[in-house]
Structure 1
Amino acid sequence: MDWNDILDQAIEHARPADAAPPGWWTLLALAVACVVVALPLTWRLLRPAVTIVHELGHGIVGMACGRRFTGFVVSGDMSGHAETVGPSRGLGRVLSAWAGYPAPALVGALLVQVAFGGRARPVVTAILVVLALSLVLVRSAHTLGAVLLALAATGALWWLAGPTVLAAAVLAVGVLLLLGAWRHLGAVIGHGRAQDDPQQLARLTGVPAWAWTLSYALVIGACTWWAWRAISPHMA
């Protein structure tokens, strides 16, 4: 196989395909995602995926607001932080600080939606591009390992999986991100720390931390409703 053949196959893998027919894969994907989030061992292994999306959410929204995204870290305890450079106050600073917790829920709901519509391949292609670009922003060895693992797993699915397996994987990851967003929010509610986003936003704006936490719950709840509307027709 020469490089032209590889390029042709890569282009083909990036195109939309026929939607996977309804079947066993929907319930299996939901069950796998629920088990992964519920079991401490599997949650610890896959929680970095939620943290990566959280930190990239900070950075991407920061860039959209005119800030400069300089790097992010996924720590050994699976927490993380992102750094954006710009004015220390103002709307851009607030939006970039707010964007972390909703990001996994928004991405998760989008993945659930595209899993049923034949758009899994182009969306997974976009995820591969984002992960590859994010490599230049990692700021620790642990972060590099987490992003490389995510990139390798996503790339293997993109290249090797057929339509049904890819749709099931996209659905499972989408539900994992949604449930992970709720778990992260629950951790903030139960064990809030001074460096957590709601407390930072309270210091920036004077609005109480509980109000920012409530805003997260409303957005994650809306994303959950969106995902359920996409899943429910395929549960019969």
Structure 2
Amino acid sequence: MNLDAITDLWDKLTAVQAAPDVAIVAATAIAALAVVFVNTTWRLARNVITIAHEGGHALVALMCGRRLHGIRLHGDTSGVTITQGQRRGLGATLTLLAGYLFPAIVGLFSAWLVWQGRIVALLWVTIVLLAAMALFIRNLYGALAIVATGFGVFAVAWWAAPDVQAIITYATTWFLLIGSVRPVWEVWAQRSRRGGSDPEQLAEMTRIPAVMWVLLFAVVNVGSLALGTSMLLPDLW
């Protein structure tokens, strides 16, 4: 690859795109809201939230010096990340804590990049992260889910027109922000009959009641949604 090709590629990756009309941005928000709150669409789309959830566990585990043995994604949209290290302590706590927070954090980071007009950069960063996560997938359904998601993002980045890229990126960002809230409600509603959830494991590890961890997830994720909204729809604030 010569210097001109490298320069051209860099220009494409760092290109700044203007925000779509506010009506289009609002429409993508409504579409994402519908996907999250309609059970039929949520059951399929929730796989994206699970990928972010398990990716959060995996990334924080590695950052805390834990050994990552693998990630499994299941057809019921559950998942598990297998790590090795101390059973208690800061690293173990942060690894568990990351799961329910990471979809909102990814959504907020995406909103910031979109706000900056870095839509193409966001698409390619997503592809790189999915490729890295694919190295640790340890079951067939998980591999298919990662490949399908990655190919979808690649197709948008490589073939879609800029306007289409913007619409899909806005819709996905909204989905991550809004979709990060529903699992918190679900784990709250199921807390009395769902053993082994992240909040319950955090409670056992830290002696802080599970309900406090669920409230923390809710505050962070709803706050991320509010902050992300201020970036995606700045004219309304």
SS at match of 2:135: helix
CA distance in 2, matches of 1:21, 1:46: 24
Q: Does residue 196 in structure 1 map to residue 228 in structure 2?
A: no
CA RMSD in angstroms, aligned pairs only: 2.1
Q: Is the 8 A contact 1:58 1:100 kept in 2?
A: yes
Give the 5 Å matches for 1:120-199: 120-192=119-191, 193-199=194-200
3-state SS of paired residue (2:88)? coil
Relative to the length of structure 1, the TM-score reads 0.91
Counting only pairs closer than 5 Å after superposition, residues 72-111 of structure 1 correspond to structure 2 as 72-111=71-110
Q: Offset at 1:14?
A: 2.1
Q: Which amino acid aligns with 1:124?
A: L
Letter in 1 for 2:169: V
**Conserved? CA contact 1:13–1:159, under 8 Å:** no
Task: Determine the C-alpha separation between the residues in 1 that align with 2:12 and 2:217.
Answer: 35
TM score, norm. by length of structure 2: 0.91
Structure 1 SS opposite 2:147: helix
CA distance in 2 between counterparts of 1:130 and 1:140 reads 18
* Alignment partner, residue 43 of structure 1: 42
**Aligned pairs, how many?**
234
Superposition deviation, residue 163 in structure 1: 2.8
Instruction: State the shift of 1:23 in Å.
Output: 4.2
Aligned pairs (5 A) from 1:6-45 = 11-45=10-44
For residues 64-89 of structure 1, give each alpha carbon's deviation from its aligned partner in whole angstroms, at most 9, with x where no partner exists: 11112221111111111111221111
Within 2, Cα distance between the matches of 1:124 and 1:98? Answer: 26
Whole-Å Cα distance in 2 between the matches of residues 224 and 20 of structure 1? 19
Looking at structure 1, the residues matched to 177 and 231 of structure 2 have their Cα atoms a distance apart, in angstroms, of 13
Distance 1:151 1:6, change over 3 A: farther
The one-letter amino acid of 2:171's match is A
CA contact (8 A) 1:111 1:174 kept: yes
Residue deviations 1:123-146 (CA, integer Å, cap 9, x gap):
211110010111111111111111
Unpaired segments ≥5 residues, structure 2 = none
Shift of residue 177 of structure 1? Answer: 1.2
CA–CA distance in structure 2, aligned partners of residues 84 and 6 of structure 1: 41
- Judge conservation of contact 1:112–1:170 (CA < 8 Å) in 2: no
* 1:101 partner SS: helix
Q: C-alpha distance in 1, partners of 2:89/2:174?
A: 34
Aligned partners of 1:234, 1:110: CA distance in 2, in Å? 19
| 2:230 maps to 1:229 | yes
Structure-1 separation of matches of 2:8 and 2:38: 38
Percent of residue pairs identical? 32
Q: 1:37 to 1:86 in 2, by over 3 A?
A: same
Q: CA offset at residue 233 of structure 1?
A: 2.3
